[in-house]
A and B are shown apart, each in its own frame.
Chain A
Amino acid sequence: MFAVVYLGALASLFVSAFWEVDAFTAAVIHTWSLDNFRRLWDDHTYWRITGRTIGLASAVTLTDAVLAFPLAYFIARLASGRTRATLFVLVLLPLWSSYLVRIYAWRTILAKNGALNWVLNGLGLPDAGLAYTNTAMWIVFSYVWLPFMILPVYAALERIPENYLEASQDLGAKRWRTLRSVILPLALPGLVAGSIFTFSLTLGDFITPALVGGAGSSFIGNIVEEQVGLPNVPFAAAFATVPVIVMAVYLVIARRLGAFEAV
């Protein structure tokens, strides 16, 4: 029953992308057309917004991969016993704590009178001026999704048998060579699995752009939310197909890279 409602809702949503809204009554007219898609295709604004959304999602994914790896490696292979358990909980708690609260925390940190500028001024540096910029969004997204990258990478690294590394060393590989030829390939499925979260969560978000982004930082999600509110659900649905298609392609690639076996 529940599944039927959910699937029905999803299906009707995507069907409605081909419908239209009467300009005067705001009623949905059930005539089939590609007008919504044509409007998206022809307007440069929507291309820019799509580009910004996908670009930032990629940047956030890369940043999280770089930040997550050393910590995941440390927890999985160097820390032991209590340290390991403590670190694990320290990663887990931010993940489950309110995402809205964490965005808000950064909003106060980056604000003009916030902690960041206080530190910078204390060091004799000028204000960072990061509030309400794309850079702010990049920092905040990387921050909120980071635990989603750490955990799968940790799981992948933990599973590498110690003797693989010994074998690599015995065969004369230097540390970097071992990292590049043994550890990274085995960690890759974990990295890809984590990237599914970081990428997809960024792609569908509209709260972060609304709270820490500037005037020109709308995401696909912001436009969709705005259009649902108008209400112009058909157009919102048409634009919403973009992240869904991007994610579908991403998942197919991720599957090829073995992400589904990693976690």
Chain B
Amino acid sequence: MTDTRGTRIGLGVAAALVIAFLWLPLLLIMVYAFNSSTIQTWPISGFTLHWFHEAWHDREVRSSLWLSLRVGLLATTVALVIGTAAAAAIYRFRFFGREAVSLLLLLPIALPGIITGMALNSFFTFGGVQFSTWTIVAGHATFCVVIVYNNVLARLRRSSPSLIEASMDLGADGWQTFRWVIWPVLSTALVAGGLLAFALSFDEVIVTTFTAGAQTTLPIYILDHIQRGQDLPVVNAIVFVVILVTVIPVTIAQRLTGDTGVLRRGASPTKV
């Protein structure tokens, strides 16, 4: 060890401070959900669960939550299909334009969300496509596909191709190989990729503002109300739930893969 005791303590303190910086705002905003007053002041004036009740019975909240859930599930499904197929194709075959495809799959993450959003917006407008659940799904699918693709590709690269050959040699047909060899290898990567994709979609605002038209997803509801300073206690209760809803799938995904899900996001998986 080259680090002296002094350095270690200093770094430990610095690390603790940065962790506190990351977490205090989140914990603080979660406390606001229990604020008995409608005025946003710190410290909160009293404890109540009233706003959760209020939020749950609000029609607008319900419809936007329902839309967000629907979009999240559809975008995740689309992402699982396309992302897995793309990862399998890149992994398994050498084909013309392979490099281009793997580069293309990075664009939705590398380009600022506003560009993707605008591009889709003008595409829908010029193409005469009415804004609907499906336009939001298309917008979200762009980055959800990348997440699934990265997770699946990373898993495929870590597993040995000889497993498949061995299975074939032992006389398994295509389906058996898939069921007993490929699926066990891929399943956790798919679950993790799907969970992360859902978490991303459930939170997304930027691309959504451009692809939703007049529809309101939950993040759009939150954004609107924050900007207008309206029903903030209800927003606080929703925010509390949203934090929990994103923390849970991410923790599970992390357990399943031990991956960060992000380290490869902006890097180049183009190297094989």
Contact = CB atoms under 8 A, between A and B. Distances in A.
Contacts of A89: 251, 254
The CB with the most chain B CB atoms within 10 A, among A148, A262, A263, is that of A263
B267 A71 contact: no
Interface centre among A104, A143, A236 (most CB of B within 10 A): A104
A175 B29 contact: no
Interface residues of A, number: 92
Q: Which of B42, B115, B243 is most buried by chain A, counting CB atoms within 10 A of its CB?
A: B115
A71 B41 CA distance: 32
B110 A118 contact: no
Greatest chain A CB density within 10 A among B25, B32, B123, B202 is at: B25
Contacts of B222: 100-101, 104
Contacts of A91: 19, 22
Contacts, number: 236
Contacts of B43: 118
Given A201-B112, A228-B210, A262 B267 contact: yes
B11 interface: yes
B230 interface: no
Nearest to A68: B18
B138 interface: yes
A2 B145 contact: yes
* Majority secondary structure, A binding face: helix
A92 B250 contact: yes
Given A75-B15, A90-B22, A224 B262 contact: no
B17 to A, nearest CB: 9
A104 B239 contact: yes
Nearest to A201: B112
Contacts of A203: 112
B2 A165 contact: yes
Given A95-B262, A100-B203, A105 B25 contact: yes
A214 interface: no
Contacts of A206: 114, 206
A104 B29 contact: yes
A60 interface: no
A263 B25 contact: no
B247 A207 contact: no
B95 interface: no
Contact of A6 (B15, B42, B113, B142): B142
A115 B42 contact: yes
Interface stretch (B48-56, B101-109, B177-185): B101-109
Nearest to B120: A9
A197 B251 contact: no
A246 to B, nearest CB: 10
Contacts of B203: 97-101
A151 B26 CA distance: 19
B170 interface: no
B246 A97 contact: yes
A14 to B, nearest CB: 9
A137 interface: no
B110 A152 contact: no
B160 interface: no
A71 to B, nearest CB: 4
A91 B125 CA distance: 40
Nearest to A262: B267
B270 to A, nearest CB: 8
9 contacts: A13-B123, A96-B199, A101-B242, A106-B25, A113-B42, A114-B41, A118-B43, A237-B122, A259-B267
Interface of A: 2-3, 5-10, 12-13, 16, 28, 67-68, 70-71, 73-75, 77-79, 87-102, 104-109, 111, 113-115, 118, 143, 146-148, 150-152, 155, 165-166, 168-169, 175, 178, 193, 196-197, 200-201, 203-207, 210-211, 221, 224-225, 228, 231, 233, 236-237, 240, 243-244, 247, 251, 259-260, 262-263
